Chain A
Amino acid sequence: MMDLSALDLSRLQFAFTVSFHIIFPAMSIGLASFIAVLEAAWLMTGKPHYKALCVFWSKVFAIGFGMGVVSGVVMAYQFGTNWAGFSRFAGPITGPLLTYEVMTAFFLEAGFLGIMLFGWDRVGRRAHFGATLLVAIGTLISTFWILASNSWMQTPQGYAVENGHVVPLDWFKIIFNPSFPYRLAHMAIAAFIVGALVVAATGAWHLLRGRRDPAVKTMFSMALWLLLVLAPVQAIVGDQHGLNTRKYQPAKIAAIEGLWKTEKGGTSLNLIGFPDMQAEVTRYAIKVPHLGSVILTHSWTGEIRGLKEFPKEDRPNSLIVFWSFRIMAALGMLMILLALIGLTLRRHHRIYESQFFQRCMLAMGPAGFITLLAGWVTTEAGRQPWVVYGVLRTAQAVSPVTQQDVSVSLMVFVVAYFLVFCTGIYYIFKLLRLGPPLDEENPAPVPNANANSSGRRPLAAVE
Chain B
Amino acid sequence: MDITTIWAAIIALGLFMYVALDGFDLGVGLIFPFFPDDGERDIMISSISPVWDGNETWLVLGGAALFAVFPEVYSIVLSALYLPVVTMLVCLIFRGVSFEIREKASRTKNLWNLAFIAGSAGTAFFQGVILGAYLQGISVADGVFAGPSFFWLTPFSLLTGFGLMATYALLGSCWLAMKTDGNLQHRLHSLIRPLTVVLLVFMVVVSIWTPLTNAQIAARWFNSGLLYRLLPVPFLVVISALFMFRAVRRRYDTAPFLLALLLVLLGYAGLLVSIWPYAVPNVITLEEAAAPRSSQLFTLVGAVIILPIILAYTTVGYRVFRGKTSPGAKYH
Contacts and interface: CB of A to CB of B under 8 A. Distances in A.
Interface string B71-82: 110111111001
B327 interface: no
B75 A85 contact: yes
Q: Is the interface of B mostly helix, strand, loop or mixed?
A: helix
Interface string B302-317: 1100110010011001
B331 A99 contact: no
Interface string A64-78: 001101111110110
Interface residues of B, number: 68
Given A115-B50, A413-B90, A423 B298 contact: no
A103 B294 contact: no
Contact of B67 (A94, A106, A164, A412): A94
Given A102-B60, A106-B60, A87 B96 contact: no
A118 B306 contact: no
A98 B67 contact: yes
B233 interface: no
Contacts of B59: 73
B313 A59 contact: no
B126 to A, nearest CB: 12
Q: Is the interface of A mostly helix, strand, loop or mixed?
A: helix
Interface in B65-114: 65-69, 71-72, 74-79, 82-83, 85-87, 89-90, 92-97, 99-101, 104-105
Tier of interface size on chain A: 35 or more
B292 A99 contact: no
Contact of A416 (B69, B94, B143): B94
A413 to B, nearest CB: 7
Contacts of A66: 53, 96-97, 99-100
A150 to B, nearest CB: 15
B294 A118 contact: no
Interface string A397-425: 00111101100110011001100100110
Nearest to B144: A400
B97 A401 contact: no
B284 to A, nearest CB: 12
A413 B53 CA distance: 21
Given A73-B92, A168-B294, A117 B100 contact: no
B268 interface: no
B161 to A, nearest CB: 18
Interface string A47-87: 00000000100110011001101111110110111111101
Given A69-B53, A95-B67, A118-B330, 17 more contacts: A63-B100, A66-B99, A69-B56, A80-B74, A81-B82, A87-B71, A88-B143, A92-B291, A96-B68, A102-B65, A118-B49, A164-B143, A399-B145, A400-B146, A404-B149, A413-B90, A424-B100
Q: State the 7 A-B residue pairs at the shortest beta-carbon distance, nearest first.
A: A91-B71, A80-B78, A95-B68, A114-B50, A95-B67, A84-B75, A399-B79
